[in-house]
Amino acid sequence: MQKNNCKLCGEEFLIDDEELALLDKLSPTVGSVKLTIPPPTHCFTCRSKRRLGWRNERSLYNRKSDKSGNDIVSMYPQDSEYPVYSSDEWYADDWDDKSYGRDFDFSRPFFEQFAELNAKTPKVALLNNNPENSDYINRAEGNKNSYMSFDLGWNDSILYSRSVYNSDNLTDCTFCRKSSFCYECIDCENVTNSAHCINSTDLSGCNFCYNLHGCHDCALCTNLFNKNFCIENKQYSKEEYTEKIKEFDFGSKQKVEDYKKRLSENMRSCVHRFANNLKCENCTGDYLENCKNVKYSFGAKNSENCRYMIDPERGKDSMNDCSSGGDGAELNYEIIGSGWPYNMKFSNASWHCSDSLYLCFCQNCKNCFGCSNMKRAEYCIMNKQYSKDEYEKLVPKIVEHMKSIGEWGEFFPLDISEFGYNETVANEYFPMDKKDVLKNGWKWRDKVDNLIPTSDFQVPDNIRDVKDDMIEKVLVCEITKRPYKIQGQELAFYMKQNIPIPHKHPDQRHHERLQLRNAPKLYHRKCMNDGCNNEFETTYSPDRPEKVYCEKCYQDNVI
């Protein structure tokens, strides 16, 4: 066991023998030279921030393409230093990624040279594959009629949501799968016609509920399995419930605020399972599903023998990865947002790539080093073509140079990220204020809102009093004071689902949903059930008010 202090925040972190063995396994061989990866110098949080600070999902801008001059939607604003092409223009073969190639200069740091190369190569405006009527979505594949939603796959009509798959008609939802007609739901699967439900599966017609499974027609309930017609965990007959539920007015903003308060009180007093892990073996972390030997990870699915992961899917023998995955995703280290990566190290948003190091936004590349925005390349260094022999000689030399100045083993530093910290997922999982971000030498981009609020306009309390002209009004967020509008499709959803007009900006709504989920950090704690001495790793910090139980006590008391 090694004890280290984080080079950035100073916090102590441990590196055990299992981790050192995995690092050895992950160290790549180029030609006949093994490039040994040294132990991490940053703690889990600082490493995760450094990778996530390269992933802008939700900060979108209207701008011109630098290739055609056409109007496009992009992750990069008009005044960004990078050239930006529309997706079709970027994937076309009429520009030469190798024309940006350059020699490696052994008198200068690698990251400095990489930043110069990366500033010149064209960037793809958005990662939005096969969209239909969905220009304002990002990190998305196969979506229809969706707007301002991110990390999406195979959906229809998703508004202001994040991490939603195989669903339709969701507004303001986060981490939902196979669900329909839901509003403000978090971590739900197979849920229909429900609102304000958290950590729930197989529901319909439920409102303001936490941890319900296989239930229908319930309100303000917690920890129920296969129950119907319950209000605040009290069982009613179908007839009684039908009468009782009429006393609720889910269309009134004021009433909804009251129900939200009652939900949070109910969540505070109910028993919480130490971790939301499903079908896992020998794992520590939270929101893990179908994983084996996955340690200190969050939101991992179908993964095996991994450590320090955030939201990976099908990862194997990998460490320090955020939001990557796909069949054959193996032997990856310090990567982010990469699909189908194999033996990839220190890389960002590089898809179908293998056996490469330090790639940024590359596609279908193998055996490459320090390349930016390349397609189908092999044996390239800094976008310059080499022979196999030359490549295998030069890469170990560059690594030796990086070792001598302390760059080897580190991910791309945040001061050369393409985005402001607050534009990225880093700020969603690990929020920081502007002052601290700038103090670290990282970037920040102030939000510029061009809408002018409609004067003297009061949003009606109840959705039944809202008129169609609502979509012309510019509202002001009651928390951040940022202006925002209600879209036509959104208004139709609220009217159909009997939901009051939100009084907060979509970014604030997203932020508040994330606050309802524990931050990605583990604490060693003891079961709070009287007489039980079981210990566990949990995301509930010791100062939290909830009753946190071990698996056995949770099973005995709740199910």
Per CB under 5 A, residues contacting Zn ion are: 6, 8-9, 11, 43, 46, 527, 529, 532, 534, 550, 553
Percent helix / strand / coil, the chain, rounded to 5: 25, 35, 40
Tell me how far, at minimum, the Cβ of 408 lies from Zn ion, in Å.
Answer: 19
Determine phi and psi for 360, rounding to 5 degrees.
Answer: -135, 120
**Helices of type H across 348-409:** 388-404
Smallest distance from the beta carbon of 49 to Zn ion, in angstroms?
A: 8
CB of 297 to Zn ion, least distance (A): 17
Query: Could you give the CA distance from residue 472 to residue 454 in angstroms, rounded to a whole number?
Result: 9
Closest CA to 321 of 302, 288, 344: 344
Smaller CB distance to Zn ion: residue 113 or 440? 440
> Could you give the residue ranges of the DSSP H alpha helices within 366-500?
388-404, 425-429, 434-439, 488-497
What Å distances lie between residue 482 and 41, 171, 234, 306, 447, CA to CA? 39, 20, 41, 41, 9
Q: Which is nearer to Zn ion, 379 or 411 (CB)?
A: 411
Q: How far is the CB of 389 from Zn ion (least distance, A)?
A: 41
Q: 161-186 as b/e, with b when 16 or more CB fall inside 10 Å?
A: bbbbbebbbbbbbbbbbbbbbbbbbb
Instruction: State the nearest-atom distance from the C-beta of 527 to Zn ion, in Å.
Output: 3
User: DSSP state, 116?
Assistant: H
CB of residue 345 vs Zn ion: minimum separation in angstroms? 21
Q: Which is nearer to Zn ion, 356 or 529 (CB)?
A: 529
Considering the complex, state which of residue 191 and residue 432 has its C-beta at the smaller distance from Zn ion. Answer: 432
> Of the two residues 117 and 310, which places its CB atom closer to Zn ion in the complex?
310
Rounded Cα gap, residues 383 and 391, in angstroms:
12
Whichever of 316 and 525 has its CB closer to Zn ion, that residue is 525
Burial of 111 (0-12, 13-18, 19+ CB in 10 A): buried
The minimum distance between CB 244 and Zn ion, in angstroms, equals: 35
Cα within 13 Å of Cα(205), Cβ side: 12
CA distance between the termini of the chain? 39
User: Residue 93 Cβ, how far from Zn ion at the closest point, in Å?
Assistant: 43
Nearer to Zn ion, 209 or 553 (CB): 553
Nearer to Zn ion, 227 or 544 (CB): 544
Q: Which is nearer to Zn ion, 388 or 526 (CB)?
A: 526
Residue from 183, 163, 86, 67 nearest 125 by CA: 86
Position 137: which residue type? I
CB of 545 to Zn ion, least distance (A): 18
| In the complex, minimum distance from the CB of residue 540 to Zn ion, in angstroms, rounded to a whole number | 14
Here the tokens at position 283 are: 């794992």
| CB-CB contact of 221 with 232 (8 Å) | yes
Q: Are 383 and 368 in contact (CB under 8 A)?
A: no
b/e code 463-480 from CB counts within 10 Å (16+ = b) = beebeeebeeeebbbeee
Nearer to Zn ion by Cβ, of 183 and 308: the residue is 308
